[in-house]
């Protein structure tokens, strides 16, 4: 037998793993009211006393919204893009409690949607809801229990919150046929306004809380990853961090992301909390999304931050090489939130978003060019950095 005959055949390369990621999905409050099974609309806010006030505000700004809409209504043209792009997994940061519980926490803003309306998540084929954020406990521990129970009933994986610390630290494990496993770790940073008292403990439900974005904070994340990682796993770390407004990227945030990539082998950092899109960074061929902007909300008609264009939402479709963990390709689809539904923005709005992303991202190694499909693609000159 020749040496060639004795050598094992080379394994064909595995195809890239395509993810769908977005920022905050806020299907509570006003959005919940136009779905088929709304919660009691009473609110405990200084600004509004009924969730229906947000419906009326939106209608004043953008026209009538139908009532008792089906679960697919809110996704609008995003469903067409999901069909076109065919991601392997669909991941959202769910920034609302799923409950009819009335045990609200007096924190000024409390989001909830009814468990009966949660089928809007399955209408978009969502595989994983990230829960480490500053709204999942708006309706207390009962509200968190109802949220987890509803998502489990719908067979949607969760990460970032649980019945105790061990539960909250556990990643979502998503097997992808022929491509291996994807592990998604979810954290809430106190910089997002998540109360320290919400941290899950050995004996108390809560969120997977990061007290700081320091070296010690990165070490905590690295330890959690090593507890669950198996060979050839792809690792995504999702972090709810930073304020709602402003383009500044703190140095400590970048150092934290770089440490996870360099020392913990993380393939992708999925950052959210900002209501508008922020800089995208390529570090050692890995993707860092510093702020993914809101994807669904009931903010239409609220004035004060129009210059940030928080009505524009983004669908992020990164392709990750399952062998190296590096970014192979990134396509971003701009959409517009209008009447609680995702619609096509104008060509002018798409170009505004391209220019904004380029202005903020070029210093961090990323720039974008338009595609024939009306989306934005990472410039080929920026890959392989």
- The string of pLDDT tens digits covering residues 319-341 is 999 999 999 999 999 999 999 99
Cα 170 from Cα 221, distance rounded (Å): 11
What is 6-46 written as a DSSP string?
HSPPPPPPPPPEEEEEEEEE--STHHHHHBSSPPP-B---S
What per-residue confidence (pLDDT) applies to 11?
Answer: 57
Identify whether 54 is part of a domain.
yes
What per-residue confidence (pLDDT) applies to 384?
Answer: 44
Q: What's the domain range around 112?
A: 17-382
What parts of the chain have a pLDDT lower than 50?
A: 1-5, 7, 384-385
What per-residue confidence (pLDDT) applies to 246?
Answer: 97
- Token match 């406990």: residue? 137
Identify whether 127 is part of a domain.
yes
Q: Which phi-psi region, left, alpha or beta, contains residue 50 (left: φ > 0; alpha: ψ -120 to 50)?
A: beta
Identify whether 236 is part of a domain.
yes
Identify whether 1 is part of a domain.
no
User: What would the pLDDT profile of 270-300 be if each residue is shown by its tens digit?
Assistant: 999 999 999 999 999 999 999 999 999 999 9
Identify whether 35 is part of a domain.
yes
How many domains does the chain contain in total? Answer: 1
Identify whether 185 is part of a domain.
yes
What per-residue confidence (pLDDT) applies to 4?
Answer: 46
Identify whether 6 is part of a domain.
no
What per-residue confidence (pLDDT) applies to 14?
Answer: 74
What per-residue confidence (pLDDT) applies to 48?
Answer: 95
Identify whether 94 is part of a domain.
yes
What per-residue confidence (pLDDT) applies to 380?
Answer: 77
The domain that holds 328 is classified in CATH as 3.60.21.10
């Amino acid at each position: 037998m020749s040496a060639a005959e004795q050598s094992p055949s080379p394994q064909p390369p595995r195809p890239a793993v395509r993810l769908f990621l977005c920022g905050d999905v806020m299907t509570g409050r006003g959005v919940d009211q136009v779905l088929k099974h709304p919660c009691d609309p009473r609110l405990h806010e200084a600004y509004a006393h009924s969730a229906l006030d947000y419906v009326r505000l939106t209608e004043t700004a953008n026209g009538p919204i139908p009532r008792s809409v089906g679960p697919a209504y809110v996704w609008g043209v995003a469903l067409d893009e999901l069909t076109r792009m065919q991601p392997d997994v669909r991941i959202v940061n769910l920034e609302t409690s799923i409950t009819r519980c009335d045990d609200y926490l007096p924190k000024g803003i409390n989001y909830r949607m009814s468990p009966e309306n949660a089928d809007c998540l399955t209408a978009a084929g969502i595989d994983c809801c990230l829960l480490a954020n500053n709204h999942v406990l708006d309706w207390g521990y009962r509200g968190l229990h109802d949220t987890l129970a509803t998502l489990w009933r719908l067979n949607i994986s969760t990460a970032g919150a649980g019945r105790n610390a061990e539960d909250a630290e556990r990643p979502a494990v998503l097997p992808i046929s022929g491509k291996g496993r994807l592990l998604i770790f979810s954290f809430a940073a106190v910089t997002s306004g998540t109360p320290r008292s919400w941290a899950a403990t050995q004996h108390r439900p809560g969120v997977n809380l990061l007290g700081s974005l320091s070296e010690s904070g990165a070490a905590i994340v690295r330890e959690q990853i090593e507890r669950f990682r198996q060979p050839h796993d792809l690792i995504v770390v999702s972090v709810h961090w930073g304020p709602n407004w402003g383009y500044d990227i703190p140095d400590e945030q970048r150092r934290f992301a770089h440490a996870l990539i360099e020392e913990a082998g993380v393939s992708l950092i999925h950052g959210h909390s900002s209501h508008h899109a922020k800089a995208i960074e390529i570090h050692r061929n890995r993707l860092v999304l510093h702020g993914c902007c809101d994807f669904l909300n009931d903010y239409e008609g609220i004035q004060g931050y129009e210059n940030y264009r928080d009505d524009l939402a983004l669908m992020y479709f990164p392709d990750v090489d399952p062998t190296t963990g590096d970014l192979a390709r990134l396509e971003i689809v701009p959409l517009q939130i209008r009447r609680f539904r995702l619609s096509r923005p104008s060509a002018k709005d798409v170009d505004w978003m391209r220019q904004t992303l380029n202005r903020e991202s070029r210093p961090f190694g990323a720039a974008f060019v338009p595609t024939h499909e009306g989306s934005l693609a990472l410039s080929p000159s920026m890959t392989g950095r």
